[in-house]
Structure 1
């Protein structure tokens, strides 16, 4: 729909440093470079530190993020790449599997923004990647930042209801009665 307006929530603010990994497939180098530029600008505007790694293609992006999520201490991830429809069904496989991989990582707790473009042609990719245009790289970085903010908000909360181990319940009961506990 031409001319439709889109709401963008305000950029989150952080009281502790934020460390983000940008994983990019530079298969279409000019598109990838523009997306990285937009992502870096968004991360820097939020005061976040970033590292960039390159992988061969969009299918390797979820694997790289999964490895980093298991083995490093990044707060979040930005997935950047571009898949342009070709003459075979390979396009469908790459689009579906890279998206599915990122979705599963998100459901497992990785704070990530999906900036893998899935387009029909080079022109569509250029418009979406342009940091002064649709800025999908910046949008993916913003998504990661918002999820990091939610993770920190909810990770810091403790609830007064729910399961507590028996030892903790005994300690809390003793403190409530004024009985000292070890």
Structure 2
């Protein structure tokens, strides 16, 4: 798949809304069903000037997105991120290219030592992707989220860059 990773723009809101409302995306995140366009648009907006928001584009269409959100103060050495991939292209390397771009920015441009996130323990595809990029499971948050009528666990995962 010919894919371009670029900065997210205002014209990407409809594509992000479509991805956000797919059942597979919702199942792997804290998203609720039936969220409004405005709610999703605000969720995808940078929260600070330091945030990086990316889109994976194929054939002129946004098929994935990611964000890198650095922390502040005593956690300024760390950041969190999210990745979203359209159902139609899952398994075609979109998540890998987005995560590679997030890691490159974190390591080589904003000097992030610790990159972290949580992931549902049953999201094997995402866990495999994160491990491929050097993330390790640091622990389990039991009953961390209510999803599909039950409480589910999440792993906290992180990748530590070796300080130069």
**TM-score bucket (shorter structure):** 0.3 to 0.5
Q: Judging by fraction of residues, say which structure has more helix.
A: 1
TM-score by length of 1: 0.31
TM-score by length of 2: 0.34
Which structure exhibits the higher relative contact order, with contacts defined as CA atoms closer than 8 Å and separated by 6 or more residues? 1
Q: Judging by fraction of residues, say which structure has more strand.
A: 2
